[in-house]
Amino acid sequence: MRVRASIGTLAKAGLIDLKMLAEPTTAYLLQHCEKCLARCAFCDLSYGEPRIARVTWPSIELGDLLPRLRAFDRVCVQSVLKRGWLSELLEVLEAVSTWVKGKGVSAAITPIPSRDLARVVEYVDCIGIGLDAATPRLFRVVGKPFTWSVYESFARECVDYLGEGRVFIHIIAGLGESVAEALATMKRLYSMGCRVALFSYTPSPKHSFPGIDVHSYRFLQVARQCLEEGIDPEPYADLSGPKPRFRRLPPIRDPLASVLTSGCPKCNRPFYNESPRGPIMNFPNRILLTKFAKVVEEELRAVGAL
């Protein structure tokens, strides 16, 4: 069976020669397809290109990759919409979980029936759900499959199966939402027992969403970190001016940690959204963050988080 794997995954697995500024801690696998039927407007898979955001996904035989997955702390299997995708996904998950016993396995999936979800959770300890858009209006604009309410109901069902804190909702900042809208959606998701994996929109000539500036993104990252620590960020936030900021310091333990990549445990997605030349929106590890600490500290001071 052929799958796709991120180019960074293949490099760390020793299957291609690629110099990396930061190695992935998770192996990222993607179901093979020529064109995803989901047709999400921001995703190049919808246009028949083997690329998501800045990452290319070469094709490989799953059997050639499986023995090398032990080099990673987690494996994330990402689904596509195509004929027979769910049965194929279950086959991939079963094979992966056999090879990486004792390590985490995630599945990034769209809503599926309860009986099928029960089969998926036999192999995974975390589920990612690509809600992506921060509002129901944008959800319709970007052409996500199903409906907002279906995704929300599915997220609640996943929490019922896996428990609170094991369901990660992907939100892409920069599709046209306001900071206030993104914050409200993140709060709602955490109130449901979910967590947020925050992405920044990656510009592409195929689509023209507005994107997000570093200042606003740092604000959302700190707000997400507040929610991670059980703190409501709204009493600390000031959204009345031209740029969002915190009117007083939110009491999070380590503000710098807020700019690290968010997602399932051990997920770091090196340069998934941004070029290594910067600006770096999501830092894949502490080592790289330390090198840019002065810049990030200035950005966090600008939003009132330091």
Q: Half-sphere exposure of 85 toward its Cβ, with a 13 Å CA cutoff? A: 22
25: left (phi over 0), alpha (psi -120 to 50) or beta: alpha
Q: Give the pLDDT confidence of 258-288 residue by residue, as tens digits.
A: 999 999 999 999 999 999 999 999 999 999 9
Q: What is the pTM of this model?
A: 0.97
The full set of domain ranges for the chain reads 74-302
Fold entry, domain 74-302: pyruvate-formate lyase- activating enzyme (3.80.30)
Q: What is the number of other CB atoms lying within 10 angstroms of the CB of residue 208? A: 10
Instruction: Please name every residue paired with 126 in a beta bridge, in sequence order, or none if there are none.
Output: 106
Q: Give the pLDDT confidence of 131-152 residue by residue, as tens digits.
A: 999 999 999 999 999 999 999 9
Q: Is the pLDDT of residue 47 over 90?
A: no
Q: Give the pLDDT confidence of 57-112 residue by residue, as tens digits.
A: 999 999 999 999 999 999 999 999 999 999 999 999 999 999 999 899 999 999 99
Q: Give the pLDDT confidence of 175-228 residue by residue, as tens digits.
A: 999 999 999 999 999 999 999 999 999 988 878 899 999 999 999 999 999 999
pLDDT tier for residue 247 given thresholds of 50, 70 and 90:
very high
Q: Is the pLDDT of residue 46 over 90?
A: no
- The C-alpha atoms of residue 86 and residue 100 are separated, in whole angstroms, by 21
Q: Is the pLDDT of residue 249 over 90?
A: yes
146: left (phi over 0), alpha (psi -120 to 50) or beta: left
